[in-house]
Every structure is written in C-alpha cells, then in structure tokens.
Amino acid sequence: MRELVKVSKALSDETRIRMLKLLLEKDICVCEMQEIFHMSQSQVSRNLKILTDAGFLKRWREGKRVVYAVEKDSNNKFCQAMLDALSESFVDNIVVSQDRERLQQVLVQQVREKIR
C-alpha cells in the first residue's frame, strides 16, 4: 500500500506530471528543466526528487549536470502502470505541447552555444 501512496503523492502535482511526460520522451538535465518550467534549480530538483523517490526516475551526473530519465525497470508496479497510462495520455494537450516546444527550443539553443 505504501508504494501506491508514494506514487499517488508524486503525481498529485501538475508540474510533476508534465515533467514526467517530457521525461518519457527524452532524458533531461535539471538546467533544461529550469528553462522549460521557468523554475529555480531548487524547485526543479525538489520535484524531480519526489518523482525519483516514488520510483519513476533514475539520475546520474554528467560533469556538472544532473540528468534524469524514466526508470523503465522500476520495482514499483504502480509506477509502471502510471508510466504506461501517461505515455498514452495528454497527446493533444496544449500545455504538454508547449512544454515539448520549449524543450526543443532549449536543445536548439544548446547546439547553437556549442557551435560558437
């Protein structure tokens, strides 16, 4: 029962659902999330930690960056069920589409900065 409560609490916030939806498509670092959601590093990290603690995400360091990805082999069966449901949900949602567009803009900007 505790696993279900953790999952439910993690998904009780719209921002965390939106973050998870993006992470289903691509591994994303905290700095990219900051730009997409216009939040401070501590706010982004706090939300990602809640999702990680519930079993939705895994994380690793790449230099100074902390990268998050969906934990596809989560031991929490409720996480797997919710990830399956989320992957098929909100396909035509305007807010999710805007998040996806902002992610693309951030990635394009990073490429431009590397070229310079």
CATH of the domain at 88: 1.10.10.10
Q: Is the pLDDT of residue 31 over 90?
A: yes
- Contact between 90 and 31 (Cβ < 8 Å): no
User: How far apart, in whole angstroms, are the C-alpha atoms of residue 23 and residue 40?
Assistant: 18
Indicate the SS3 state at residue 62: strand
Task: Check residue 113 and give its pLDDT.
Answer: 79
Q: Give the range of the structural domain holding residue 101, as residue numbers without chain letter.
A: 2-115
- Contact between 32 and 68 (Cβ < 8 Å): no
pTM: 0.91
- Per-residue pLDDT tens over the stretch 44-101: 999 999 999 999 999 999 999 999 999 988 888 899 999 999 999 998 999 999 999 9
Task: Check residue 22 and give its pLDDT.
Answer: 96
Q: What band does 1 get if pLDDT is binned at 50, 70 and 90?
A: confident
Residue (of 26, 104, 11) closest to 67 by Cα position: 26
Number of domains observed in the structure of the chain: 1
* 95, amino acid identity: V
Task: Check residue 75 and give its pLDDT.
Answer: 81
Q: What average pLDDT does the segment 2-11 reach?
A: 92
Task: Check residue 54 and give its pLDDT.
Answer: 94
Residue 63 DSSP class: T
